[in-house]
Structure 1
Amino acid sequence: MLLTDDELRMRDGADGEAVAAAMDLLIRYGDALGAERLVDTRNVAGTMTQPSPAKARLVAEGGWAKAYAVINLDCDRDIEIPRMKVPMCQLQHGFGDDAAGLTSYPPQLIQLQDDAESYFSERGVNILATCTPYQVGNLPVRNEHCAWMESSAVVYCNSVLGARTNCEGAASTGAAGLTGKIPYWGNHVPENRFATHVVDAGVPVDSFQEWGMFGYYVGEAVQEARPAITGAVGQPDLADLKHFGAATATSGGVELFHIPGLTPEAPTLDAAFGGRPAPEAIPYGEAERRWVYETLNAQGTSTDVDFVLLGCPHASLDQVARIAQLLEGRRIRGELWVMTPRALRTMADRNGYTRAIEAAGGRVLTDSCPAMSKAAPAGTRVFATDSAKQAHYLPAILGIEAWFGTLEECVDAAVTGRWRGGLA
């Protein structure tokens, strides 16, 4: 790759061993991708505090510097980790203290994570601990080059915000934080951001559930391509677009979508395709809608629900408020968890939403989710969720049955202990 004088200096050790290792990784990474150069970034979202048995072993051998070197820099030398060169945040990680004792999640991993937070916050990492960093302060601007992990965050960043990132990994984000560089390829390149497909909604997409089901179909239809959305779509809010993008990245590998007249890079369908002719549209009608619903509910056989999970991706404050309203004067059977960023949990506490949910027997938890931490309440056999992403992943991760439906149906299941949902 073509390197600038500053990049050569970093590679040759002018800023220390850790930065040199980071540059070496980025050069190897860029070469493998066919990138001709690196690009500056001042917005990195990665993962370094999330605990695991492998990370615990590395920490025991050489502390958090050793763990970061091996996992985030692909380096087996003993090196010191300096302060991050550019703003960097930690995405969601393992369960924290608020989930202690609720599952079989090992308490030693909670302690390990606490230690990691102290270490990395001292090195300039913002511990946002959420899959939705854009909800709690990390809000890149249009055309800003970012280096983000987490599929649902990446597709929101590219599509809704109009910033530019590929779906990065622990190593590339770890190196980007120390250098302020990332390979210039993929979604960073303007011509790679134009739409490749059209998916046309022939049925109304006008609710949280409908946006999730439509997104699941779009991802299945286009896989890793870039869809432009047309047809009978209503005005979405933040939660709808969050749910839609997460679903496209779950059933496919979508990192960028366009909704002409709504998303920033597509004022028109013509603009979404960069002036090139749009292909024939892929239809989404009643048959496709029913296929999605039946696919997401194919894991459910027993209608006895032990556990209801809400907030994937992490719930917005408006979503938490709505859950609190639906639970007013009611009592939950089994377990109901609402996952949200810790910063929004503080706001939910202040507004009385947490109190209302807890009064009904529910819990408002932060930092993680059952899929990320691979843990659910003891004895869970059947869970219900309004998240297409969790309905897709959690049965495979935990071996439990899933029901997918509306928020109202999920709250009803939490109160009655029975699944009574159905496709309207």
Structure 2
Amino acid sequence: MRLTDHEKSMLSGDHGAAKARAMDLLVRYGEALGAERLVETNNVAGAFNASTPSIRHLAEQGFDKVFSELNLDSDETVEIPRMEASTCQLITGIDNDNWRIQGVDPHLAELQRQSEKYLGQRGINMMATCTPYQVGNVPVKGEHCAWMESSAVIYCNSVLGARTNVEGKESTGAAALTGRIPYWGFHLDENRYAQHLVELDIAVDDMMDWGLLGYFIGYAVEEEIPVLSGVAHQPSLVKLKHFGAAAASSGGVEMYHIPGVTPEAATLEQAFGPRETKSVIRYGARERAQTFEKIQSATDRKIDFVMLGCPHNSIEQMELIAHLLEGRTIHPDVQLWVHTPRAIKQIADRSGYCEVIEKAGAVVMSDTCPAISRRMPPGVRVIATDSAKQAHYLPAIGKVQGWFGSVRHCVDSAVAGEWMGAA
């Protein structure tokens, strides 16, 4: 791998042991990938927080030990300096306000608070959300990033036109310290062209339909790049957020194009570039019905738990939930958790939305979600969610049955105590 003089200097230890470890990791990583060089990045979104029981023993040896082992793959503990690149923490496992409701050990909750202080002192911004683009981290078209989190990566590549692969704790830790990441995959122009054409035979408009379409496409193209034709309605941030999250869950999609919507493809010809079309996939009423049936894992209509906000809710979604809950009460046998970034929760608080939601008997949570925390109310057997991603993962993670539907279906079900959507 070709290194610049500055990169060689970091690797040799001239800039401290932590950066030397980081460069060593990046060189080994890049060589394994076949990358010829590194590329500069000033936008890293990773997982640095010490908030899981399995790493408590590391934290007892100090947070430098946690970062060294988990984010630099280093058995030796090195002193961690301030980050070189602009860096944010993605979603965590604990809500600092609602940890008791989650059933979190008090010592673990305190450990997270201490960890956040440590990270902040080193320049890591505690956004604590899977949607950093909703709370200020919005890279520009063509910007090289180093992001974790599948739903964030697909949004970054596709909607924003920035460039990132799905990175891990180690590579993001090393990138944050050095401002470098291997130049391969979606950083390269030639790897960002579409391979499959998806022709829509039906209108796809609301959030639930965009989630279903994403879930269908993930299975259809797996890890390759689709381009959509026949989109009749301009999709919003919320719809594209749920579409991408679903496609990245049922498959491994990291990028897509919608001509006239996403920034790198004004036309189908631009979307495919020099690539040949591998397949033409049709999505109509039959495919929608089959996908809807596939995503449902429940048979029991009596529900225990409703989860809204995966990926984290926007302020528009918080307003909608408050509107649907106004003057209503959650069924006594059901718990409703609404998840949103902490920054958006503050806006929802000032707007009165949290008060309406909580008055109905629901809980507004930040910083986490059940799929990440692996925590739900005790005794849950049947869940309902508006998220295709959560409907895909949570039944397997939590050994529960799952219903998927619209926000209205989920809110009505939380009030009724049984699934009110279609089976």
Give the TM-score of the pair, scaled to structure 2: 0.98
- SS class of match (2:181): strand
Other-structure match for 2:91:
92
Shift of the alpha carbon at 1:234?
1.8
Equivalent position amino acid for 2:315 in 1 = L
CA deviations on 1:241-272 (whole Å, 9 max, x unpaired) are 00000000000000000001110001000000
Other-structure match for 1:379:
379
Name the CA distance, whole Å, in 1 between partners of 2:421 and 2:50: 35
Shift of the alpha carbon at 1:277?
4.6
Can you give the 5+ residue segments of structure 2 that lack an aligned partner in the other structure? none
Which one is further off, 124-133 or 288-297? 288-297
Other-structure match for 2:317:
319
Name the CA distance, whole Å, in 2 between partners of 1:3 and 1:326: 56
- SS class of match (1:228): strand
Shift of the alpha carbon at 1:359?
1.1
Other-structure match for 1:203:
202
Name the CA distance, whole Å, in 1 between partners of 2:114 and 2:20: 26
Equivalent residue runs for 1:260-279 within 5 Å: 260-279=259-278
Q: How many percent identity over aligned positions?
A: 55
- SS class of match (1:200): strand
Name the CA distance, whole Å, in 2 between partners of 1:275 and 1:44: 31
Name the CA distance, whole Å, in 2 between partners of 1:169 and 1:277: 31
Equivalent residue runs for 1:136-215 within 5 Å: 136-215=135-214
Shift of the alpha carbon at 1:99?
1.9
- SS class of match (1:160): helix
- SS class of match (1:13): coil
Name the CA distance, whole Å, in 2 between partners of 1:78 and 1:210: 49
Asked whether the equivalents of residues 94 and 113 of structure 1 are also in contact (C-alpha less than 8 Å), the reply is: no
Name the CA distance, whole Å, in 2 between partners of 1:313 and 1:84: 27
- SS class of match (1:281): strand
- SS class of match (2:389): helix
Other-structure match for 2:304:
306
CA deviations on 1:322-372 (whole Å, 9 max, x unpaired) are 000000111111211110000000000000000110111111100000110
Asked whether the equivalents of residues 385 and 405 of structure 1 are also in contact (C-alpha less than 8 Å), the reply is: yes
Matched, 1:46 2:46: yes
Shift of the alpha carbon at 1:275?
4.7
Asked whether the equivalents of residues 147 and 168 of structure 1 are also in contact (C-alpha less than 8 Å), the reply is: yes
- SS class of match (1:49): coil
Equivalent position amino acid for 2:244 in 1 = G
Can you give the 5+ residue segments of structure 1 that lack an aligned partner in the other structure? none
Matched, 1:420 2:404: no
Asked whether the equivalents of residues 384 and 410 of structure 1 are also in contact (C-alpha less than 8 Å), the reply is: yes
- SS class of match (1:213): helix
Equivalent position amino acid for 2:20 in 1 = A
Name the CA distance, whole Å, in 2 between partners of 1:55 and 1:37: 33
Matched, 1:250 2:273: no
Shift of the alpha carbon at 1:233?
4.0
Asked whether the equivalents of residues 193 and 275 of structure 2 are also in contact (C-alpha less than 8 Å), the reply is: no
- SS class of match (2:402): strand
- SS class of match (1:361): coil
Name the CA distance, whole Å, in 1 between partners of 2:102 and 2:113: 18
Name the CA distance, whole Å, in 2 between partners of 1:421 and 1:155: 29
- SS class of match (2:235): coil
- SS class of match (2:202): strand
Name the CA distance, whole Å, in 2 between partners of 1:260 and 1:414: 38
- SS class of match (1:205): coil
Shift of the alpha carbon at 1:78?
2.2
Name the CA distance, whole Å, in 2 between partners of 1:316 and 1:359: 20
Between the two proteins, the alignment pairs up a number of residues equal to 421
Asked whether the equivalents of residues 69 and 77 of structure 2 are also in contact (C-alpha less than 8 Å), the reply is: no
Name the CA distance, whole Å, in 1 between partners of 2:310 and 2:18: 35
Name the CA distance, whole Å, in 2 between partners of 1:83 and 1:106: 30
CA deviations on 1:399-423 (whole Å, 9 max, x unpaired) are 1110001111101001000102117
Asked whether the equivalents of residues 102 and 378 of structure 1 are also in contact (C-alpha less than 8 Å), the reply is: no
Asked whether the equivalents of residues 195 and 275 of structure 2 are also in contact (C-alpha less than 8 Å), the reply is: no
Asked whether the equivalents of residues 215 and 291 of structure 2 are also in contact (C-alpha less than 8 Å), the reply is: yes
Shift of the alpha carbon at 1:103?
3.2
Shift of the alpha carbon at 1:110?
1.5
CA deviations on 1:108-167 (whole Å, 9 max, x unpaired) are 221111111000000000000000000001000000000000000000000000000000
- SS class of match (2:66): helix
Shift of the alpha carbon at 1:378?
1.6
Name the CA distance, whole Å, in 2 between partners of 1:84 and 1:361: 42
Give the TM-score of the pair, scaled to structure 1: 0.98
Shift of the alpha carbon at 1:50?
4.4
- SS class of match (1:332): coil
Equivalent position amino acid for 1:176 in 2 = A
Other-structure match for 1:115:
114
